[in-house]
Amino acid sequence: MVFKTLANLLPEPEGDRPNKFTIYMGKAIRAAREEADLSQEKLAEMIYRRQATLSDMENGKVEPNAQDLWLLSAYLKKPLSYFYPEYARENMRPEEMGELEHELLMHFIAIRGKDLQKLAIDLVTVIENFDPKDLVVNLAPYVEERLRREQAVEERQGKRQQKK
């Protein structure tokens, strides 16, 4: 009985494609690729595959190997577990995450509603892509001008006090 239940959770044999497992993975890959606004051709190039192979993955005809999943995870900015069906994710233990990752996940889970969760993901993505160096470089001319004006004001105030 346990063996039969366990067998139902495993991917189907090599020759049976597409199957539930590969179709799920393919849909997840396509959704993440579209969310990242990447074409099949561009993503295939990034993961060192032909566009036709990526298309077969998205259609469940080819099961991505470990390297494919690792690269997809990195370029599409999704955890590896994203590409597996829900039953496969049930085995992920919170202790496998770092303290801050766990805290972020707990706050995320507390957010009610998919729209607010998507907003939270968007906000975290903005923070992830924020580069303080760019901010400094872009604001440098304004800061320099403001400092120059403040110095000019101080000089004028100094001259007024000397006249008194």
- Residue 65: pLDDT band (50, 70, 90) is very high
For the segment 97-140, what is each residue's pLDDT rounded down to a tens digit? 677 777 787 788 888 888 999 999 999 988 888 888 887 888 88
Nearest to 85, CA basis, from 40, 44, 26: 26
Neighbours of 163 (CB within 10 A): 5
Contacts by residues 106-112 (CB-CB < 8 Å, ≥ 24 positions apart) = none
Host H or E run for residue 24:
helix 20-35
Distance of CA 151 to the CA centre of its chain: 45
- How far apart CA 148 and CA 161 sit, in angstroms, is 20
Higher pLDDT, 56 or 112: 56
pLDDT, residue 47, reads 96
Task: Give the architecture (CATH level 2) of 2-92.
Answer: Orthogonal Bundle (1.10)
pLDDT, residue 93, reads 63
Q: pTM to 2 decimals?
A: 0.55
pLDDT, residue 3, reads 44
Burial (CB < 10 A; 0-12, 13-18, 19+), residue 47, is buried
